């Protein structure tokens, strides 16, 4: 090959105007439409506590907490390709640290929450010698240890964790505003109890968590993480410190887990060790697969699906065929939900690569294509 022939490698950088990296996201035609869409979503979210009853608020809050945790594990599993079965442990670390720091050490609630997230991060950091060196499913098995050892500690360290019965969770308090049922508060004729108040805290936390993760995924770290997932050696050759990134993402994802733990503790108002078991970790993996691996929107969609499903089935169990009342011998709502989302995980991988988020993107692309075609194609009459 002579020197003068331009090769593919030399010709590609000739278009510097185009950004090098374009993630696959739903691209709406114009800025104003997108802004309007976000405003609508925000308005709807703010309006919810004024119209819906406690059940929906609680279900929504669980979904928000699950979404925060799922974003974290999607950074790790979806974007970096590192499997973790230990996510429930970090939720527990966050939830229990919050309770311990605010009730026993008497820290102000917001400070305790921040410190609890930090504690979850430190736990992830302590595991980083393993998280940095093991890859993929190998790490998945290793993180099983976190669940079993964590459960052991939760049941046995009674002075801190309260043992089997757990501990009550002190309410959050921000600048004198208490997120609890007392003192009474009525806004626009709607009594604002703890769920209504926490709703807004949940929205704020979820929005912040989602924005941060989006920033990480779209920036250089996101590129590095995806390269590690797709080809570890290539990543290393290109100068990505693979082990450090793996460990770092593990810490970040455990901090997301910790934040989700704090929120779920605030909603539950009681932390019990049984909740933070193996099943919770599996739930989180199901969420990100169903929603879509590696994207923030996917994590949120999957979290909503997996955490709302059992609650909806429980609420409407008498109206649904095949689902029996709990304890009556048939398929209970919780079991039906688990069977459904277990099947959903398998179905998504077989038939819907990219999950719910991928489906939305594809539908969006089809729409856009139709739209463009309709605009650019002349009327059939003039074509003749």
Partner 1 sequence: MAVFLELLVNGISVGAVYALIALGFVVIFKATEVVNFTHASLLLAGGYVIARLHPLVGFWAALAAGIAAAALVGALVEFLILRRAHVGSRGVLAIVTIGVDILLTTELTRRIGTEVLALGDPWGDRVLRLGPITVAETRVVALAVAAALIVAFLLAFKFTGWGVAMRATAEDAETAALMGVRLGRVSLSAWAVAGALAAVAAMFLCVFPTPGLDRGTAAAAMKAFPAAILGGLDSTTGALAGGLIVGVTETLMSGYQSELAFLGRGIGDAAPFLVMIVILLLRPSGLFGTKEPARV
Smallest separation (angstroms) from partner 1 to the CB of 144: 6
Q: Which is nearer to partner 1, 97 or 151 (CB)?
A: 151
- Answer yes or no: are the C-beta atoms of 354 and 292 closer than 8 Å: yes
Stretch that binds partner 1, among 109-117, 247-255, 260-268, 334-342 (CB under 8 A): 334-342
Please pick, from the candidates 345, 356, 357, 360, the single residue that binds partner 1 as defined by CB under 8 A: 345
**Binding piece for partner 1, criterion CB under 8 A, among 34-42, 250-258, 286-294, 376-384:** 286-294
Pick from 65, 74, 77, 254 the residue near partner 1 by CB under 8 A: 77
Q: Which region among 212-220, 244-252, 281-289, 370-378 touches partner 1 (by CB under 8 A)? A: 281-289
Q: Does 183 sit behind a cis peptide bond, omega within 30 degrees of 0 on the bond before it?
A: yes
If the CB atoms of residues 178 and 243 are measured against partner 1, the closer one turns out to be: 243
Does 259 help bind partner 1 (rule: CB under 8 A)? no
- Binding of residue 353 to partner 1 (CB under 8 A): yes
For partner 1, give the closer residue by CB, 179 or 284. 284
Residue choice 35, 43, 46, 237 for contact with partner 1 (CB under 8 A)? 237
SS3 letters for the chain?
A: CCCCCCCHHHHHHHCCCCCCCCCCCCCCCCHHHHHHHHHHHHHHHHHHHHHCCHHHHHHHHHHHHHHHHHHHHHHHHHHCCCCCCCHHHHHHHHHHHHHHHHHHCCCCHHHHHHHHHHHHHHHHHHCHHHHHHCCHHHHHHHHHHHHHHHHHHHHHCHHHHCHHHCEECCCCEECCEECCCCCCCEECCEECCHHHHHHHHHHHHHHHHHHHHHHHHHCHHHHHHHHHHHCHHHHHHCCCCHHHHHHHHHHHHHHHHHHHHHHHHHHHCEECHHHHCHHHHHHHHHHHHHHCCCCHHHHHHHHHHHHHHHHHHHHCHHHCCCECCCCCCCECHHHHHHHHHHHHHHHHHHHCCCHHHHHHHHHHHHHHHHHHHHHHCCCHHHHC
168-207 residues near partner 1, rule: CB under 8 A: none
Q: How far is the CB of 247 from partner 1 (least distance, A)?
A: 13
Closer residue to partner 1, CB minimum distance, 133 or 218: 133
Residue selected from 125, 140, 168, 171 as contacting partner 1 according to rule CB under 8 A: 140
**How many residues contact partner 1, by CB under 8 A?**
48
Least spacing, CB of residue 271 vs partner 1, in Å: 18
By beta-carbon proximity to partner 1, the closer residue of 1 and 233 is 233
Q: Is 161 in the site for partner 1 (CB under 8 A)?
A: no
User: Least distance to partner 1 from the beta carbon of 129, Å?
Assistant: 6
Q: Which of 55, 165, 176 is nearest to 99 (CA)?
A: 165
Least distance CB 349 / partner 1 (angstroms):
5
Which residues lie near partner 1 (CB under 8 A)? 77, 81-83, 129-130, 133-134, 136-138, 140-142, 144-145, 148-149, 151-153, 155-157, 229-230, 233, 237, 278, 282, 285-286, 289, 293, 331-332, 335, 338-339, 341-346, 349-350, 353
């Amino acid at each position: 090959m002579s020197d003068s022939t331009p090769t593919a490698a030399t010709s590609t950088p000739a278009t510097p105007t185009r950004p090098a990296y374009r993630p696959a996201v739903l691209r709406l035609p114009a800025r104003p439409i997108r802004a309007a869409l976000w405003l609508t979503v925000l308005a709807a979210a703010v309006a919810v506590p004024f119209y819906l009853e406690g059940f929906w608020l609680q279900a929504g809050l669980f979904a928000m907490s699950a979404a925060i945790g799922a974003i974290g594990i999607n950074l790790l599993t979806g974007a970096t390709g590192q499997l973790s079965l230990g996510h429930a442990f970090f939720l527990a670390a966050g939830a229990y640290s919050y309770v311990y720091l605010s009730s026993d050490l008497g820290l102000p609630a917001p400070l305790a929450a921040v410190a609890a997230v930090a504690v979850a991060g430190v736990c992830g950091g302590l595991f980083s010698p393993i998280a940095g060196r093991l890859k993929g499913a190998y790490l998945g098995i290793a993180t099983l240890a976190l669940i079993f050892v964590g459960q052991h500690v939760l049941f046995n360290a009674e002075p801190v964790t309260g043992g089997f019965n757990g501990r009550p969770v002190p309410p959050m308090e921000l600048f004198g505003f208490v997120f609890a049922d007392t003192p009474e508060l009525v806004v626009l004729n709607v009594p604002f109890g703890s769920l209504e108040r926490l709703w807004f805290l949940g929205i704020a936390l979820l929005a912040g968590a989602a924005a941060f993760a989006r920033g990480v995924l779209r920036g250089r770290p996101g590129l590095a993480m995806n390269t590690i997932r797709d080809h570890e050696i290539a990543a290393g050759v290109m100068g990505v410190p693979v082990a450090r990134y793996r460990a770092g993402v593990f810490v970040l994802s455990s901090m997301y887990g910790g934040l989700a733990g704090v929120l779920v503790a605030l909603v539950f108002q009681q932390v019990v060790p049984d909740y933070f078991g193996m099943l919770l970790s599996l739930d989180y993996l199901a969420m990100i697969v169903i929603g879509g691996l590696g994207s923030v929107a996917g994590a949120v969609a999957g979290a909503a699906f997996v955490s709302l499903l059992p609650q909806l089935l429980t609420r409407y169990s008498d109206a649904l065929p095949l689902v029996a009342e709990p304890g009556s011998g048939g398929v209970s709502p919780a079991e039906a939900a688990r069977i459904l989302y277990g099947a959903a995980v398998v179905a998504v991988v077989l038939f819907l690569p990219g999950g719910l988020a991928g489906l939305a993107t594809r539908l969006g692309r089809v729409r856009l294509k139709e739209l463009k075609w309709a605009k650019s194609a002349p009327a059939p009459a003039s074509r003749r």
